[in-house]
Structure 1
Amino acid sequence: MPAGAQSYDEAKAAGESEPQLQLLTDITGSFRPGVLTALMGVSGAGKTTLMDVLAGRKTVGTITGDVRVNGFPKEQESFATIAGYVEQSDIHQPRTTVREALQISGLLRLHNVSRETVELFVDEVMGLVELEPLRDSIVGAPGQFGLSVEQRKRLTIAVELVANPSIVFMDEPTSGLDARAAAIVMRAVRNTVNTGRTVVCTIHQPSIDIFDAFDELLLLKRGGRTIFHGQIGTRAALLVEYFQSIPGVRPCANGINPATWMLEITALGPEQRLGVDFADLYASSKLSKHNNVLIEELATPKEGAEPTRVAGYAQPFTVQFMALMRRALNEYWRFPGYNAVRCVFSTILGLLLGSIYYQNGSHRSTANDIINIAGALFLSLVFMGYSNAAGVLPIIANARTVFYREKAANMYCVEAFALANALVEIPYVTLQAVLYSLATFFLIGFQVTAARFFWYLFFTWLLLVFFTYFGMMTVSIFPVVALAQIVNILFLNIFFLYGGFFITYPNFPIYWQWMYYLDPLSYSIEGVVASQLSMNTENITLPDGSTSTIQNFLVSYYNFKESFYPYCALIMVGFIAFFWFINMLAQKKLNFNKR
């Protein structure tokens, strides 16, 4: 497996607003292959900030300085293909298996590798992090079902390792774990280092045994300044020797955790009592001078070496899409709580509507009969559609958290992700539409012809797809589900108001008629009603006692024309495509994962 050395110089991140808050100050150091480095410091020292800067994951602030990989300036697009980032939060698709999670990571991140090789590599990594017994286990959601916290952490590490990175960043891999679980995770980390990779871990307060697993330490003080960078030694002997050489520093007693002792003596209070600045002491120390010589050597490319340049994605669009589609189909199939419920809801709603308006579609003698049928169709379709719009919000919100991690790893393009998420809904929306249409079409008693049933089913399907994609769009535009729900309700009311049923088009004030044409709901209700009734030339009695054909009544009362409903279907398709495009664009341009 390839290995890489990383050096950095004067890396710092500052906030964008004035006055700027400097989080990192003149940090110089190096990380080398086969060396496990701990990145430590008190809270607010900038540990995670430094790691985000080095990994290219920082999304806010101003960054200055020089980061080099094997002596060459870092190019983020190529760097993303050789670096893995194990986040503190274990983010995975909940209804995928352990093996499936590793397969998609390997397939979409390994360049120029056959599928057979990916499978072999997945098996190797599962053995490395001791996940083989859990290969077919569902990942699950934290605290609900699936893997334990420690198992999820090992999976998070494995998902990065299966991409065969030369450099691995880990943000507090033992956070929230008990002693046994932390030991298992650190054994997996140590196994990773022993393969020749460069591994850097932020860690807060490690136990003696966990701290002893590290080879080197980069220690920061508040304000993001370096106060130690070098080898730790067996049982932290070299680290203790360095700090005990500073006059006035309290010795590390036998049996005391060197990591805890180190953090205590370098805190702000002891530093002020001693009247020293540990960062200045380190900068003038022999250790710092030795490190500077090493960094100068690492920052210069070796003779004949070439920078790592890997352009684009590991796989073409078709492979990306098929892999994401397969994962999405598995996720949906394993989530009956989402899909079965909406299908049952559609069936029950259809049966209720059909029983209330039983055979009314074939007994139309007055205008009120037509209005009642149109109103029932309008309300039931809207209620069913809105349930789809509301139900899809948490699904896409959860998928978005995984998307941010995978996007940062350069696994796939946004278009493939958005298309897979959209198309996976189609089979279930189609089943909804079929169940609802079968329950209502025949019970209401519409004229039974293949053409009329097709149009009824098609407009029902279009409306459900429209609402589903509308929900996807809103949750992609807004940072939280609660806000997307408010926007959904707001637009539902607007759709209701201008849909042409409660206030029909001929009764709209002229200055609001343009809203009728912008309302997707108006085309849905016109399509479903006109496709069933506008061809009828039988007479009905109007409220004033006069008569009119159903065809003429639909034109005069609703502005529903027989010749226009096929165009309504085309317009609905256009709305659906528009909402999908906005959804995709929002996922591409907006990032609510601020770090």
Structure 2
Amino acid sequence: MKRGGQLIYAGALGLKSRSLVEFFEAIPGVPKIKDGYNPAAWMLEVTSPLMEHQLGIDFADYYRKSKLFKTNKEMIDNLSKPTGDAKELTFPTKYAQSFFNQYIACLWKQNLSYWRNPQYTAVRFFYTVVISLMFGTICWKFGSRRGTQQDILNAMGSMYAAVLFIGITNATSVQPLISIERFVSYRERAAGMYSALPFAFSLVSIEFPYVLVQTFIYGTIFYGLGSFEWTVTKFLWYQFFMYFTLLYFTFFGMMTTAITPNHNVAPIISAPFYTLWNLFSGFMVARKSLPGWWRWYYWADPISWTLYGLLASQFGDLDQSILLSDGVSSTTIKIFLEVHFGFRHEFLGVVATVVVGFSVLFAVVFAFAIKYLNFQRR
């Protein structure tokens, strides 16, 4: 090819490039090759733009009018026509491997990627320990103080602050990682290595063990320092709600990255949701105090369901009396939660299902956003 991508020769080179040399030597004005001269170097010299200008010839046009070009074209036409007994080449599937095998391959790739990325995984665990100790010491024995209404609100506040702090940290820290992985996948998916959904679900799945370890670290430290009731049921309920809360925050961060061009735009999209989730969580303004036309958003707020589950599982079954804020009246903790917040212990199963549902929703939206949205610039 000459400059510009136009073809000037296509064919056999021959012994010691004799066929190539004879083709160009046949062009009027082209100097003959000297004995012992490199045919490749000679060919580049005699087909240069300067030589074209001196000879007043277009080598690409000369090739298109040559017998060699016609011979090549006839050969291509003949080879392009299938024989009578030939069958069209088809494949039963677009990809060589099944969906499951693609998923396993992508999951193994993500496993290695996460393991070799301590800036994300190890630092997240480190901050979890720091945050657990910080909140645990700030909220020292809040879980065991149940004498007044304010004690219950303090315990709720400690849960609320930790959920919001660690949750937003998870959502924010995962966004740059997903942005990088997505752009790497564009090239690999274009090469036919795997499809979008196995790749997306592998990113979802690889978070499960890391969030589980993170939940265990935070839950054990904070639960112990906060002196919440050490029963198997209540401890497991606490771990359950924290696990799926951290999961849906992580998946929300992944989802916002998938629907935006990069991790710089994703936090801008996420920030208003954090504000609304905070406002309608039921901590700052209880559900029963919200205007009727805004209560629908309380039920659409994932944090409100988390607080419902955490508070109802820890205190919703207690018949212990507490002194209300007026300093005179008293009631049981169970009734206080039901009257003031609308939390009922027997509703825990539904609450748990909804919290899991938010995790599934954000994960599925993330996967299909990866599949259908493409932010490549070329």
State the TM-score bracket (shorter-chain normalisation): 0.7 to 0.9
**Are the structure 2 counterparts of residues 593 and 251 from structure 1 closer, same or farther at C-alpha, using a change threshold of 3 Å?**
farther
Highest RCO, 1 vs 2 (Cα 8 Å, sep ≥ 6): 2
**Are the structure 2 counterparts of residues 271 and 411 from structure 1 closer, same or farther at C-alpha, using a change threshold of 3 Å?**
same
Match of 1:429 in 2: 211
Match of 1:298 in 2: 79
Unaligned runs of 5+ in 2: none
Q: 2:323 aligns with which of 541, 544, 551?
A: 541
The structure in which a higher percent of residues are strand is: 1
**Are the structure 2 counterparts of residues 355 and 298 from structure 1 closer, same or farther at C-alpha, using a change threshold of 3 Å?**
same
* Alpha-carbon distance between aligned partners in 2 of 1:274 and 1:420, rounded to the nearest angstrom: 62
**Are the structure 2 counterparts of residues 231 and 393 from structure 1 closer, same or farther at C-alpha, using a change threshold of 3 Å?**
farther
Superposition deviation, residue 272 in structure 1? 8.0
Query: Once the two structures are superposed, what CA deviation does each residue of 1:270-313 show, in whole Å capped at 9, x if it has no partner?
Result: 87897765554443233322221221122122454433222213
Residues 1:593 and 2:376 are matched in the alignment: yes
Partner SS, residue 337 of structure 1: coil
* Alpha-carbon distance between aligned partners in 2 of 1:481 and 1:234, rounded to the nearest angstrom: 58
How well do the aligned residues superpose, as a CA RMSD in angstroms?
3.2
Partner SS, residue 430 of structure 1: helix
**Are the structure 2 counterparts of residues 302 and 376 from structure 1 closer, same or farther at C-alpha, using a change threshold of 3 Å?**
same
Taking structure 1 as the reference length, what is the TM-score of the superposition? 0.56
The one-letter code of the counterpart of 1:337 is Q
Superposition deviation, residue 532 in structure 1? 0.9
* Alpha-carbon distance between aligned partners in 2 of 1:520 and 1:238, rounded to the nearest angstrom: 75
Conserved in 1, the CA contact under 8 Å of 2:238 and 2:310?
Answer: yes
Superposition deviation, residue 411 in structure 1? 3.5
Task: Kindly report which structure 2 residues correspond to 1:518-537, keeping only aligned pairs within 5 A, or say none.
Answer: 518-537=300-319
Residues 1:366 and 2:148 are matched in the alignment: yes
* Alpha-carbon distance between aligned partners in 2 of 1:567 and 1:330, rounded to the nearest angstrom: 37
Superposition deviation, residue 485 in structure 1? 2.7
Superposition deviation, residue 465 in structure 1? 0.9
* Alpha-carbon distance between aligned partners in 1 of 2:171 and 2:19, rounded to the nearest angstrom: 61
Residues 1:265 and 2:49 are matched in the alignment: yes
**Are the structure 2 counterparts of residues 479 and 228 from structure 1 closer, same or farther at C-alpha, using a change threshold of 3 Å?**
farther
Superposition deviation, residue 396 in structure 1? 2.4
Partner SS, residue 147 of structure 2: coil
Conserved in 1, the CA contact under 8 Å of 2:2 and 2:8?
Answer: no
The one-letter code of the counterpart of 2:114 is Y
Superposition deviation, residue 594 in structure 1? 5.2
Query: Once the two structures are superposed, what CA deviation does each residue of 1:146-168 show, in whole Å capped at 9, x if it has no partner?
Result: xxxxxxxxxxxxxxxxxxxxxxx
The structure in which a higher percent of residues are helix is: 2
Match of 2:167 in 1: 385
The one-letter code of the counterpart of 1:324 is C
Unaligned runs of 5+ in 1: 1-39, 46-219
Superposition deviation, residue 372 in structure 1? 2.4
Conserved in 2, the CA contact under 8 Å of 1:527 and 1:566?
Answer: no
Q: 2:237 aligns with which of 433, 439, 455?
A: 455
Partner SS, residue 442 of structure 1: helix
Partner SS, residue 564 of structure 1: helix
Residues 1:557 and 2:336 are matched in the alignment: no
Task: Kindly report which structure 2 residues correspond to 1:380-529, keeping only aligned pairs within 5 A, or say none.
Answer: 380-529=162-311
Superposition deviation, residue 364 in structure 1? 2.6
Q: 2:129 aligns with which of 342, 347, 351?
A: 347
Match of 1:310 in 2: 91
Partner SS, residue 265 of structure 2: helix
Larger Rg: 2
Task: Kindly report which structure 2 residues correspond to 1:207-226, keeping only aligned pairs within 5 A, or say none.
Answer: 220-221=5-6, 226=7
Conserved in 2, the CA contact under 8 Å of 1:469 and 1:576?
Answer: yes
* Alpha-carbon distance between aligned partners in 1 of 2:87 and 2:337, rounded to the nearest angstrom: 74
* Alpha-carbon distance between aligned partners in 1 of 2:233 and 2:326, rounded to the nearest angstrom: 34
* Alpha-carbon distance between aligned partners in 2 of 1:272 and 1:592, rounded to the nearest angstrom: 45
Query: Once the two structures are superposed, what CA deviation does each residue of 1:363-383 show, in whole Å capped at 9, x if it has no partner?
Result: 133333222221221121222
Residues 1:578 and 2:343 are matched in the alignment: no
* Alpha-carbon distance between aligned partners in 1 of 2:99 and 2:239, rounded to the nearest angstrom: 33
Query: Once the two structures are superposed, what CA deviation does each residue of 1:479-512 show, in whole Å capped at 9, x if it has no partner?
Result: 2221223223332223222222223222323222
Partner SS, residue 501 of structure 1: coil
The one-letter code of the counterpart of 2:113 is E
* Alpha-carbon distance between aligned partners in 1 of 2:44 and 2:183, rounded to the nearest angstrom: 34
Conserved in 2, the CA contact under 8 Å of 1:249 and 1:265?
Answer: no
Conserved in 2, the CA contact under 8 Å of 1:541 and 1:548?
Answer: yes
Match of 1:285 in 2: 66
The one-letter code of the counterpart of 2:266 is A
**Are the structure 2 counterparts of residues 260 and 439 from structure 1 closer, same or farther at C-alpha, using a change threshold of 3 Å?**
farther
Superposition deviation, residue 470 in structure 1? 1.5
Count of residues in Structure 1 that have an aligned counterpart in Structure 2: 373
Identity percentage of aligned residues: 36
